[in-house]
Amino acid sequence: MIVPKSRLLFWVGLIFLPFSVLLTAAPSFALLSAALMAAFVTLAAIDGFLAFGSLDGVRVELPEIVRLSKGREGELRLRIHNDRIKNGRLRLGLAFPPGVYSPKRDMMTELQGEGRRSSIKWPLKALDSGRHVLDKCYMEVSSPLGFWAMRTTAPTASEIRVYPALFHEQKYLAALFTNRGLGIHTQRQVGKGRDFEHLREYFPGDSYEDIHWKATARRGHPITKVYQIERTQKIYVIIDASRLSCRSAGSENGSSLPTTNLERFITASLIMDLAAERQGDLFGMLTFDDRVRKFLRAKSGKAHYNACRDALYTLRPKRVTPDFSELFTFIGTRIRRRALLLFLTNLDDPVLAESFVRNIKLISRRHLVLVNVLKPAGARPLFSSPSVASVDDLYAHLGGHFFWQNLNETGKVLERCGVGFSLLDNEKMCAQLVSQYLSVKQRQIL
């Protein structure tokens, strides 16, 4: 496509306006005026004709995959292949999706000559996690005299993957990921262990409960069982991606970008993966709404972490009611060995809480289950906040008290079923979740 530039409009006004007036005011100069205007039209037409095909030898190459963290700035490197144009200026434009922001709407670059390559760095910033695609690149070059601009659209295939930002969470949990003080490597474990290691002969002082009676009867003298502390355990984080996870959770730590409950769940699960890796445990994950969406068995290693991250960064909440019956049936059939199950869900709806309590018994006897709910905004006990200045504030705090009371009643019912329950704060969610995990490791509850 060819379009006129401002230079052409400037010269049209500069030539046609005075000579048109001269053509009507002074008929003796009519032939000269018409000839000059016709010459300019011919010159502009020739310039436009020479502009055709000027972009045939120019190709723009974008990276196949660009990885960014939400709220962090990055850059997109474009490579320009010039096969025909000897020199000139090339104008480039990219149509970024809504989840990616760039301060540059277009950029200019100098072509390095025929058969050479050049590159430019395009600044951008990720606003929303997920998968974003750049499928078009717009190019423009000027005609030889600069009267026209030749434009074209080139197809591209570049994928921008925006992952949840973990920098601020890791910074907040720095003490848990170092070897100093109360670091994650210095957690003292209480007890003698629960994993059977080997048999040995009885020594005075051994507990009677550790005697292996069958081996004692077979050998004719007391034999004692020796246990070791559990080293490798399976940890699963189960994420609720149903309708209540669409709610806003404020903003992330250190960022002004709004976030949802689901995004906070995803961030916490990735932090848990890193913590389990440091402890030598196996980490797995499961996401669900009205059915189970994704399930990754517990493993370890960098490749497994990347698989979990790739499975979570495109996860979006769906406006459906969660099916806890199908979820617990799936867990009971797929996760056979005893494991720590960390639920990240929303139980402030009494109907959902009742369904959850009714079906949790399918897995609570086999696994260690800890249910974590992100505390709704304003859910606190009555008279716990001094900021009550009007009758409206009083009713708002009363509603928050009812929220808090219903959640605590649900927690008491779950505790009677042998299930742990916790209300997590938005700012301290990751730290509280990792603390639960470390407490289980220290006490050897699993």
Within this chain, do residues 299 and 420 fall inside the same structural domain, yes or no? yes
> Do 267 and 296 belong to one domain?
yes
* Position 290 pLDDT exceeds 70: yes
Confidence at residue 157, expressed as pLDDT on a 0 to 100 scale: 85
Residue 41 within a domain: no
Q: Are residues 146 and 243 in the same domain?
A: no
Q: How confident is the model at residue 184 (pLDDT cuts 50, 70, 90)?
A: very low
What CATH number does residue 331 fall under?
A: 3.40.50.410
Say if residue 394 is in the same domain as residue 438.
Answer: yes
Q: Which domain holds residue 258?
A: 167-188+230-443
Do both 343 and 356 map to the same domain? yes
Is 12 inside a domain boundary? no
Determine the length of the chain. 446
- The pLDDT value recorded for residue 196 is 62
Write out the H or E segment, with its range, that includes residue 36. helix 30-51
Q: Does a structural domain hold residue 27?
A: no
Does 383 lie in the same domain as 240? Answer: yes
For the cut 70, the answer to whether the pLDDT of residue 295 exceeds it is yes
What's the pLDDT at 334?
93
| Residue 200 phi, psi dihedral angles, 5° rounding | -150, 170
Burial of 416 (0-12, 13-18, 19+ CB in 10 A): exposed
- In terms of domains, do 146 and 235 share one? no
Average pLDDT over residues 380-384: 77
Average the pLDDT over 321-338 and give the result. Answer: 92
Pairing of strands 368-374, 420-424: parallel
Same domain, 110 and 240: no
Most confident of 85-99, 136-150, 171-185: 136-150
Nearest to 283 by CA among 240, 327, 233: 233
Does residue 433 share a domain with residue 362? yes
User: Does residue 136 have a pLDDT over 80?
Assistant: yes
The reply to whether 271 and 407 lie within a common domain is: yes
pLDDT in tens, 41-59: 898 889 888 888 777 778 8
Structural domain count, the chain: 3
Q: Is residue 172 part of a domain?
A: yes
Q: Would the pLDDT of 158 be above 70?
A: yes
What pLDDT, on a 0 to 100 scale, did the predictor assign at position 186? Answer: 45
| Residue 380 or 92, more confident | 92
Q: Do 201 and 110 share a structural domain?
A: no
Cα angle value 92/93/94 (rounded, 5°): 130
Can you give the pLDDT at residue 257?
A: 64
